[in-house]
Chains A and B, each alone.
Chain A
Amino acid sequence: MLEHLNAAATSPTRVVIIGAGGFVGGAIRKRLLADRINTLPLTRKELDLLAEGAGAKLADVLRSDDSVVMVSAVAPAKTVPVVMQNLRMAESVCVALASTPIAHLLYISSDAVYADDANPVTESSCCAPSTLHGMMHAARELMLRSASAAPVAVLRPTLIYGAADPHGGYGPNRFRRQAEKGEPITIFGEGEERRDHILVDDVAALAVLILAHRSRGALNAVTGFSTSFHDVARMVAAQFGDRVPVKSMPRPGPRPHLLHRFFDITNCHKTFPAFRFTPLAEGLAQAHRESRGAS
């Protein structure tokens, strides 16, 4: 659960986004710009966290009144070398935080930190990741919390979708791309796994609210509604006039023991009472429009 150090929303003096060139970082940057908040976006071009001396370089950039968003990651972290890369990136940020005080740190983590059977998931659920990706985020959360003298907020998004997503991960983004290419949308098995899907703009909006309230603690970026991949595929297919078939494919591995994940979003209602999530149908329609507009 988050605790607000600013009871009323207050614009941060400056927000430094580490990883501003990515899908989520870009959305946060866009939202901050729309809200006219002074922003210093750092992409890999300006700051390669894996480069020698990256920590010192970042320290030179940071100011004591900065709010910092750490969203840079090599994802998904499916192998040990990629996990270690991600930890070294976080280490660079820790080096900078150790030498330069800041006002606030927001780390964009993942719901993969939770145990698979933690239904319904809340911010108090047991963090016991079953994947390297989840363990990587859990370790980075701890590293950054340990290194930062400033208040730290952790935002843990579930499956994120949006037109600009560069990843082809299983879910709305892949389904849309398949449909755009005129290919059938493929789901594993019957696609019965029910998951929570959140629009990237909602993640960005929550991030900006956290920055404005200088919150500390943890919050899940989830909608509270879980939908099966089958239903998501049908919704995407419908955007193409149902010309696109949804086909079942053999699962790449054994059927997962836990098919569903649900979230209890009471804490979000308590933390940001006026925040409204974009319903999945509305968000998919928006992603569809934006994707069409971009092509």
Chain B
Amino acid sequence: MRPTIGFAGMTHLGINSAAASAARGFRTVCFDADAQLTGRLKAAELPVVEPGLPELLQEHGERLSFVSDAGKLADCDVVYIAADVSTDDDGQSDLAGIRGLIGAVARHLAERAILVVLCQVPPGFTRGLAFPRERLFYQVETLVFGRAVERATHPERIILGCEEPSRPLPHPLTSFLQAFGCPVLPMRYESAEFAKISINCCLVASVTVANTLAELSERIGADWNEIVPALKLDRRIGQHAYLAPGLGLSGGNLERDLATVLHLAAETGSHAELVRAFLANSRHRRGWPLRTLHREVLAGKPNAVVAVLGLAYKENTHSTKNSPSLALIRHLQTWRLRVHDPVVPLRAADHPQAMGCATAREAATGADALAIMTPWPAYRELSAGELRRVMRGRTVLDPYRVLDGAALRTAGFDYFTLGAPAARAGGRAPHA
């Protein structure tokens, strides 16, 4: 008989993981103490934006139940803890919420039930829990906002922290994990907790290298986009390497893991200057839009109007945690803004002179400069000719290369992107 799976915490992680569980054929109990939230979920009203999630929930809804009573988890064979672990501005985790949730859930579990911590926690957290170790596990979550369904339904591997990795896993857990058809890697709790941090550190390392070399490309006449395919064909780097330059770390999880590494290094006397360099590079690249706007437009135009497209920290998500767009807007308080995001409401901008616009075109209308701060696919539909007709100025910041830079330059725009030299209309020299 197939085990029943429970998920405690209807977070972005919890909802997607529960949907994947149901999609693999398991009866799945979804608990959250917030009755309003579970009520909305029952009515298929999702609190998160995630491509494919509504369809997945609809298709496998008969196996899902949403409850606000933790007692309903008593029938579950395996219960996952999927709380949000919030972080402060320094990336430090607040673990009070997850501890509270585990306490609230654990007392309702059956004697045989397995508890799996699925949240990002620092090494040592799982072993410190007061729960029988033979039934306590930690599983690395690999949620990627905007790709959460794909990641939850088709994981590359499952990393599992255990008390004793050499011991066979208990049947209900094996049965559940094998359904995903990927390698399962048991290891001690601390290794699994640190594996998650290690994965994120490797990703940050790649992105930092990309950011560093992309900035150099901008200044020496190279185009980073031309270089990336050559790197990806190198087997030591690989097709899936994170080589797209960006505007600094955002989303919160990577920042949290770097903070954890620095904390551990400080406690143990390990050398972690590399991690400080990651953070410094992130801060430096985060300032790219503000520096470029000041240099190109704001310094000479105190009354400039700036169009900002996108508020989310990346496309296909509603999350704005450490969003580069909000970081830019925070420092444009004295300028008038015209703002559009397909999902995030204008109030997230928290700007006294920001006007919300229904479309990207409307936002661009009358603007002296346009900054595409989130690469929403819909923005690709903006054409150079259209922008020329509606914009007052001729400056476009397109860090993620959503638009056709060559077409914009031909249409008389100065075009700025990450990883390539500024493309100025008429080939003018940069300001000095």
Contacts and interface: CB of A to CB of B under 8 A. Distances in A.
Nearest to B288: A266
B290 interface: yes
B302 interface: yes
A279 B291 CA distance: 15
Nearest to B287: A266
A193 B27 CA distance: 70
Interface string A264-286: 11100110011011011100000
Interface string B182-196: 000000000000000
Interface in B323-347: 331-335
Chain A, interface SS category: loop
A273 B335 CA distance: 9
Contact of B334 (A264, A266, A274): A274
Given A274-B334, A277-B299, A264 B432 contact: no
A281 B429 CA distance: 15
Contact of B290 (A120, A225, A270): A270
A124 interface: yes
A227 interface: yes
A194 B333 CA distance: 33
Contacts of A274: 302, 334
Contact of B431 (A120, A124, A273, A279): A279
Contacts of B302: 274
A224 B295 contact: yes
B294 interface: yes
Interface in A54-73: none
A266 B295 contact: no
B284 interface: yes
A281 to B, nearest CB: 7
B331 A279 contact: no
Contact of B291 (A124, A266, A277): A266
Contacts of A122: 284
How big is chain A's contact interface, by range?
Answer: 10 to 19
Contact of A266 (B290, B332, B333, B335): B290
B266 interface: no
B385 to A, nearest CB: 32
Contacts of A266: 284, 287, 290-291
B290 A124 contact: no
A280 B334 CA distance: 25
A149 B81 CA distance: 49
A276 B299 contact: yes
How big is chain B's contact interface, by range?
Answer: 10 to 19
A225 B296 CA distance: 13
A281 B298 CA distance: 19
Nearest to B331: A270
B322 to A, nearest CB: 16
Interface in B270-317: 280, 283-284, 287, 290-291, 294-295, 298-300, 302
Contact of A264 (B287, B331, B332, B333): B287
Interface string B398-432: 00000000000000000000000000000000011
A269 B291 contact: yes
B428 to A, nearest CB: 15
Contacts of B335: 273
Contact of A273 (B283, B295, B331, B432): B331
B185 to A, nearest CB: 39
Contact of A279 (B298, B334, B432): B432
A122 B287 CA distance: 12
Contacts of A277: 299
Nearest to A231: B432
Nearest to B299: A276
Interface in A66-124: 120, 122, 124
A224 B431 CA distance: 11
Given A120-B284, A269-B331, A276-B299, A224 B291 contact: yes
A227 B291 contact: no
Nearest to A125: B280
Contacts of B284: 120, 122, 264, 266
Nearest to B284: A264
A126 to B, nearest CB: 10
B76 to A, nearest CB: 49
B334 A124 contact: no
A269 B290 contact: yes
A227 B431 CA distance: 12
A124 B280 contact: yes
Contacts of B300: 276
A122 B432 CA distance: 20
Nearest to A268: B294
A279 B287 CA distance: 21
Given A269-B331, A273-B331, A281-B432, A264 B299 contact: no
17 contacts: A120-B284, A224-B291, A225-B431, A227-B432, A264-B287, A265-B291, A266-B284, A266-B291, A269-B287, A269-B331, A270-B290, A273-B332, A273-B335, A274-B334, A276-B299, A277-B299, A279-B432
Given A120-B284, A274-B334, 16 more contacts: A264-B284, A266-B284, A266-B287, A269-B287, A269-B294, A269-B331, A270-B331, A273-B331, A273-B332, A273-B334, A274-B302, A276-B300, A279-B431, A279-B432, A280-B432, A281-B432
Interface of B: 280, 283-284, 287, 290-291, 294-295, 298-300, 302, 331-335, 431-432
